[in-house]
Each structure stands twice: as structure tokens, then as C-alpha cells.
Amino acid sequence: MDGVRVGTRLDGNIPDGDPATAWDRRRAEYKLVSPLNARKFTVVVVGTGLAGSGAAAALGELGFKVHAFTYHDSPRRAHSVAAQGGINAARGRKVDGDSLRRFVVDTVKGGDFRAREAEAFRLGQESIRVIDHMNAIGAPFAREYGGMLATRSFGGVQVSRTYYTRGQTGQQLQIAGAQALQRQVHLGNVELHERTEMLDLIVDDGVCRGVVVRDLVSGQVWAQPAHAVILATGGYGSVYFHSTLAMNSNATAVWRAARRGAYLSHASFVQFHPTALPISSHWQSKTILMSESLRNDGRIWVPKKAGDDRAPADIPEDERDYYLERKYPSFGNLSPRDISSRAAKERIDAGHGVGPLHNSVYLDFSDALKEHGRETIAARYGNLFDMYSHATGEDPYEVPMRIAPGAHFTMGGLWSDYDQMTSIPGLFVGGEASWAYHGANRLGANSLLSACVDGWFTLPYSVPNYLSGHLGERLPGADDACVRDAVGRVQTRTSALLDVGGDLAPSHFHRELGEIMYRGVGVERTSEGLRTAIEEIRDLRRRFWRNVRVPGTGAHLNQALERAGRIADFLELAEVMAVDALDRQESCGAHFRSEFQDAGEAKRDDEHWAFASAWEALGDPGATDDLRFTRHAEPLTFTSVPLATRSYR
């Protein structure tokens, strides 16, 4: 692509040999830190969701001195609570043909062969320990009558491997993880910093040496040096404004790390969840997620006749198009999320959308209610049905739900090697802030799993391995140049935002950015649309730095300042996402370029694009200067799960 510089070939540091045994061999090779030396190391963990709370608690248990940071008023409020449907595991307790091998095939295939094969094996292997561990620390998993943990199915698989706590799985796992973290806080192994936001990295001679944070209540900016830093700050789907993420979810920690030299991989791989609630008003601030687990019993359909405004009960069975069952009979309503979202958009764009704005499809439980009865369906999904009713005023026991694709999960994140260390030595990443495991599309219920695997069972091995080579290393002090420079950058950027003195609130620019992103970098992309989006993003960024209004000062609680800083980061990150989407001249998973398709299905180009793009962003992000990009690449190879055309028919 014009303006993109091709950089270096990246080494993922994956163990040679059979990917099925790579993680066992790597763990056996890791260097250790003795209990007597652990307290000599300081580790910073940013984020207290499932990945962050797990890593902080595990490292605290091992004896390291841990500082955990969250901008929430409590670690249990991290966005992991929002995940509803379940967590996958290859425990194979049901006689339905599941196995570790099948889990890996489903994950690699589900990601359209754009993730590391060896990491899919690690995810499946550790999934067994994750369920046992989370069950042991208090997650109340659903059980069968005889006491065995219950499972259900999720999209992209034909087996039942998803463990769940009704429709509250993320919330219950987060509570368990936060309790484990608070235990370490009580024991004095972890120092917890609430209402504190990371705004920059301390980097000394190319090595990460800590973070700079801002107390969101007092406005104080201060530095926390560390021997290693873990970013577990979630995804960046809220760049689209209307997303299933919480309004405070943001990309600042990840993007500030990228501005210090960390590479951003798979930037444009964004999952649009097929069962979000449709936008009902332009002024709506976000969408609401309805769990994918609903697709176990709900059937998705639209009227066969375009523009049919009859009530759903008045549309006869032979005038309904169960389009997923028609197009993908082997998987039907449990087809993967990217395929399901694209199919829904195609029906809506063709004039078959339903609802007042004709921007949704039906998710209908009438057949399941007839077969199983209201009591059984309520036991499976009651809290989700209640949530839908509260949000829409409609009773899903009586009328079908209305759903539509909504920006949700970002498969992209900071590039990291097999040990989860980024391109900056000493900076690690976990959870959705990382690019690992999911490739171009995430299978449902693999997000909670990947966060738990990272936090509890990967970073507690790989971080000590790194630290073992830094025993006796002095941490930088307040007078060291690297600390002064990092603090100075934060203060300069804060002053710049306060000094603009424009007329428009930060949310005005965020909303406009979301419209650009949905239009140009949404479910379906084109070369022309992406080029237009890039220019529109650049223009919007210039207008932001001329017209944004941030009242008050930085010396106290100032939510307008918080939002302005986060939106300024979104305005830079969005350009990288569009550039990545334009650069990747193929369709794969959630990245669907209309120029590259085969009968409406994504058409990969393994000869030219079987690699992970890792973007380095350079340039002054001010009002007049554009960013410059270098695309580094890590080749992806597949030996255990050979490259194949992805089909769910």
C-alpha cells in the first residue's frame, strides 16, 4: 500500500518441533526466581480484569512485589464482568467426540488460519486447568443433576465444551479472580491502586522500566518504576463509539505503549457480535450484548419478502427465511460470529431487516418454548431474557428478540512473542490487549478462556523467566532522565488538551469517529471505503485538536480531560486500523474485503498474506502532522492443522 514501509521479519520465539508439545517444552526450559529473590523484583500489572487480576494474584502468591493499577473504583468492576455466555475447555467430559485435538482444530479454523498454531495448543491444554482452578476459587459453574459441571455449545463448534454460570459467567469469574487478588492485597504482596490510569511507559535504552499514571481523583501524575510491566487493559472495540463495551473502555494503555515502540498486530481484525441489540436512536450511547449462548435454542430469521412490516406472529412459516440454517446447514444458528454477522448484514442491506428502523433480524425462541417449556428456557437464559425486556420493553417469551451485528471484540492487540513479551523488552501483555490465540475471528467463549490462561498459567511462568536475568538491577528514580521524560510527556499532553479551548465536547468527535469506522472499517470493507476513511480520520483528528473543549484543570477530578485523552488516542489508533485493513489484500475471518470473496465467502490468500502484520507508528500526532507506518511481519506456519478452505456448510 502507498505510504507503508515494509519492515523486518519478526521471530515469534516459538519452540521448534511439534506444536502440540511446544508449551510443555518451553515451560521446562524457563528459568526460575527463588522465593528469597522474588521480593527483590517489582512488577506492575495494569488492569484488573480476568487476565490482570490473575497475573497480579499469581505473581503476588509467588512472592514478587506487585503494583496493580485500575481506573475503576474496585477491581471487580473490570469489563470482564460483561461476558455472559461461558468459557471453553477441552475437558471432553461428554461423549460427543470432543478432544484437545478438536479444540485446536476449531480454534485455528475459527481464526481463519491467522493465529499461531502452537498457541492454540497452549490454550486448549491449559483450559482444563482453568476450569478446575476457577471452580476451586469460587466460580459457581452450572451443574448437571448428578453434580458434574454442565456444558453447552457455542458458535463455530459441533460439540458441547462451554462451561457457564447461567448468563453471568464473566461476572462470576471476575468476582472469583478479584477475590484472589484482594487476598494478596490483604497479605501485603500486592499494592492496589484504584481510580488510577496509566498514561505512559517508562522506557530506558529500549527496555520497559515502569509506568506513569494519573490519580483520577486528585489529578496527581506520578511514576511507578518496575522490573517488568504487564498490560492487561482489554480491547479497543469502543473506538466504534457504538459497541458492546462499557463507555469507559478505551485503548489508551495499549496505544501509549505503541507510541513508545510496541508493535500493534492484527489491528483491523474486529469482531462484530451477531447478537447485539440494534441501535434504536442516533443518540444512543452504546449497544447491548445478548449472549451467543442464546443461539443454542433461538432460531434466526427474516421475512422472505423485502420490506415486510407485519408482526412476526403474522408471518407464516413458509414466508420466513432461516438464512443461517439455509446457507450453513452443518452449523446453522451456531455458525461462527464473523459469518453470522456478515450474513445478517447482507439480509438487512437487501431490505429484509425488521424492527422500526429495519436494522435487525429476529432471534426466535417460540420453537424451543414449545419443545422445552418456559420453565426450562427461563432456567437457561432467564437473566438474559430479563435484561432484554428491560432494555427494549418487549417480552422475548412472547415475541422474538431483535438483534444486529455490533462492534465487540478486537482480535488485534500488542504483538508479543510466544512468551507474551512485546517488542519492548520487559513489557508483557495478556488478555484482549494481546493479539494472541484468535487470529482473524474469535470463537465464542474463547475470550474468558484466553484471559484466564494468560493471567493464571502463562505470565506467571514467562515473567519470572525474564526477571531471572535482571537480579540486582536498580530501578530508575525520579531524577533519572527516562522517568523525567515520561512524566514530562504526560504533563505536556495534558496541557495541550486543556489549552485547545474549542467549542465541542470530546464525545462529539468520538461519535463522528464511530460513524466513520462503521461506514469504512465495519463488517465489510472496500479499497475505496478504506481510503476515504483514512482521510476522514485524519481530518477529524485535525479538527479535534482545533475545536475540542476541555473545561477545568488537570489538578483535580476531571472526566472531560479523561475522555479527551482517550479519544485523542482513538483518533490515532483508528488510522492504524484502517491502514491495516487497506494493506491486507485478502479476506479472512472478520476482515472481509468485498474485492476478495468467493460466492460471498471470505477468500484468503495464503501465498501472500499468511503472516501477522505488526505495525510501528511514527510521527508527531499533532493537528497538522500525519502518522507514518512501518509494517513488520511474522510468518505463520501450520503443520498439525494444515491450511484449508474454511467451510461451515
pLDDT tens-digit readout, 81-115: 999 889 999 998 888 999 999 999 999 999 999 99
Which DSSP letter does residue 397 get? T
Residue 623 pLDDT: 47
Contact 292, 154 (CB under 8 A): yes
User: Residue 553's domain is classified under what CATH number?
Assistant: 1.20.58.100
Residues 382 and 284 in one domain: yes
Q: How sure is the predictor about 2, in pLDDT bands with cuts at 50, 70 and 90?
A: low
Which DSSP letter does residue 15 get? P
Residues 375 and 485 in one domain: no
Tell the residue number behind the cell numbers 412472547, with chain if given. Answer: 398
Confirm whether 167 is domain-assigned: no
Confirm whether 152 is domain-assigned: no
Residues 116, 209, 256, 337: which is the catalytic one? 337
CA distance 243 to 81: 16
Q: What is the pTM of this model?
A: 0.97
Confirm whether 353 is domain-assigned: yes
Residues 391 and 491 in one domain: no
Mean pLDDT, residues 437-465: 97
Residues 389 and 487 in one domain: no
Q: Which domain holds residue 579?
A: 481-605
* pLDDT of 1 strictly over 70: no
Phi, psi of 499 (to 5 degrees): -85, -10
CA distance 647 to 649: 6
Domain stop point among 567, 587, 605: 605
Q: Is 527 exposed, middle or buried (0-12, 13-18, 19+ CB in 10 A)?
A: middle
Residues 399 and 502 in one domain: no
Q: Label residue 188 left, alpha or beta by phi (over 0 means left) and psi (-120 to 50 means alpha).
A: left
Confirm whether 284 is domain-assigned: yes
Which position has the higher pLDDT, 294 or 1? 294
Q: Which three cell numbers stand for residue 312?
A: 412476526
Contact 438, 115 (CB under 8 A): yes
Give me the residues paired with residue 183 across strands.
none
Q: Which three cell numbers stand for residue 379?
A: 432456567
Number of compact structural domains in the chain: 2
> What percent of the chain shows pLDDT beyond 90?
94
* pLDDT of 565 strictly over 70: yes
Residues 502 and 383 in one domain: no
- Amino acid letter for position 493: R
Residues 379 and 496 in one domain: no
Tell the residue number behind the cell numbers 443454542, with chain if given. Answer: 296
Spatial neighbors of 122 by CB under 8 A, at least 6 apart, are 22, 23, 453, 458
Average pLDDT for the chain? 96
Residue 625 pLDDT: 62
Confirm whether 335 is domain-assigned: yes
User: Residue 301's domain is classified under what CATH number?
Assistant: 3.90.700.10
Confirm whether 374 is domain-assigned: yes
Q: How confident is the model over 360-396, as pLDDT tens digits?
A: 999 999 999 999 999 999 999 999 999 999 999 999 9
Q: How confident is the model over 252-274, as pLDDT tens digits?
A: 999 999 999 999 999 999 999 99
Q: Is 196 exposed, middle or buried (0-12, 13-18, 19+ CB in 10 A)?
A: buried
Whether 337 is catalytic is yes
Residue 620 pLDDT: 66
Residue 649 pLDDT: 84
* pLDDT of 628 strictly over 50: yes
Confirm whether 515 is domain-assigned: yes
Mean pLDDT, residues 172-177: 98
Q: How confident is the model over 184-240, as pLDDT tens digits?
A: 999 999 999 999 999 999 999 999 999 999 999 999 999 999 999 999 999 999 999
* pLDDT of 624 strictly over 50: no
Residues 397 and 513 in one domain: no
Residues 486 and 583 in one domain: yes
* pLDDT of 586 strictly over 80: yes
Residues 289 and 403 in one domain: yes
Report how far Cα 243 is from the mean position of its chain's Cα atoms: 12
Mean pLDDT, residues 417-427: 98
Confirm whether 593 is domain-assigned: yes
Which of 171, 206, 177 lies closest to 190, judged by CA?
177
Residue 93 pLDDT: 84
